[in-house]
Structure 1
Amino acid sequence: MRDINSFAHKQAEWLCHLERSLWKYEPALECRDRNKLGDEVLGLEKPGKDSPYAKSRSWKLSDQAASAFSMILKGQSGPFTAEQVKTGFELSQEGQLLAGRLNIQPRKSYRKKNRHDANRSGTHSTKTLSGMDLSMDLGTSIRDAAQVPVMSGTSGSSSDVVIAARYAAMELGVQWSAPELTTDQAKDALIDLSLEFFRQQGPTVVMAMQMNAIREKQGLPTKDVEKSQVFTHSYAEIHSGILLTVDGIDPTKIDEVRSALYGYTIDAKKRLSELSSLTEI
């Protein structure tokens, strides 16, 4: 992200543009105080009981993303800062969250129709004492058979960002990928942005805290783990979450999902092998 000419940086900047354009004339905000909502995002005002921010998030927005989303909600049209444009992945997720809490039906319906996620049988490593059960998850069985790393199954959060980009592009009559990028370059950029998010941003802190809470209930000692090593999603799980959604695979058509997952898993394994070979040189 330090390289402004990188695919990831260009796609992150485009995600910021898409999200801001989508909220500019959002009807669901017409009866709300946009400035107050923006201040709530920044933590400058306490959300009222009827605010979409009355309930806490799964994880905290970074300061840069909060300032950028506050600008979006307030309808400010000035340019984003160099740091804000790096937060496109977070902004897309925040847009999805707010759309759900404001009950924006077209966006909620589009998400429900297109979202891919793992089948965890109602379990999660941060919520259930017995850990996470992926025994019924299709993607995990395919990755297991291919000897590809498994963590939490296909990433629904990664799928969400693609959904946000595609929905915004559809509504605005533009493309979901940054104008300077090919579709494949934009796909790779989203995978990189997702990896960065899961390794360095909010999820790592929350996952570590909640897993330690589970350990405490089991009478186990606290673990202090460097955040880039915290258990979230493997490369193949993020890769699949992005590509299943970008390629428009219908989540309800299991045979099509299975076929796509085989191809994605082989591709992810090949990429990991190539990267491993490079690091050994």
Structure 2
Amino acid sequence: MNLSVKDISKRYGKVIALHKVSLQCAKGEIVGLLGRNGAGKTTLFKILFQLVEPDSGQVEFSPSKHKTLGGIIEKPGLYGYLNAYDNLKVFSRMQGLRLSEKDIELCLQRVGLPIDRTDQVQNFSMGMKQRLAIAIALLNQPSYLVLDEPFSGLDPIGIKAISSLILDVVAKDKIGVLIASHLVDQLSAISDRIYVINNGEIINSGETQQLIKDHSSYYTLYASNIGESESLKKYQAEIFPTKAIIQLKGHQLVDLLQELQEENIEITSYVPEVDFEKLFDVKA
């Protein structure tokens, strides 16, 4: 079962917001839409929710009888003067749902919010507001969840918590999730595939790890004794006692790891540093 966007275009006067944008998201899959602010991410999401009419192209659900969407566009539209419970109650009624007190409590627990917190939502942290917004988006048991910049304004702890929540929802409910963000590190950490959008066009796409590998120029390698390596000296590298920052191409990484293993240097992790200009400006 897929959510398919096919050749969507949208123009506002002389400004091209989207140009022949195509992407797919399957149930049980997390798909990232990576782009700078103003790249067209929010416009596309508004089209998905039929808030904006495209000039051409179409959105398809296969099979068509399963087409429920839940989501957050731009920022959570919560009632700040109500508590979390009452927000869920109001939004459920808007959707024609008849939820019991127990149902609403389960919705709160599902996203990690306390059921006994009675203060106004305007007092919540940004992370808690995002959790509540996700709970609201899940009220109609959607086949697909669409999240627009869910990590925006969050500290590292909040980002980790929201990422864990998204992964948990996908694992338990097998829904498809489409996430738009300008934060490549956060998006690549949880996405199965990524589409890169720039100036309203998809300019790169692929499986996350391969896409990151193909567009990385530097790698940071970690090992307790990496500073003792002789192999690293033939590479352009900054070498420290427990880490090294190395410029190399993806295919060179395998050779280097083999050389380090032969030196009895056990790499505990390696992190690619994405070349943003290459990722955003070169067509795949």
> Is the pair's TM-score, using the shorter chain for normalization, greater than 0.5?
no
Give the strand-richer structure, 1 or 2.
2
More helix by share: 1
Asked which structure has the greater CA Rg, the reply is 2
TM-score of the aligned structures, taking structure 2 as reference length: 0.26
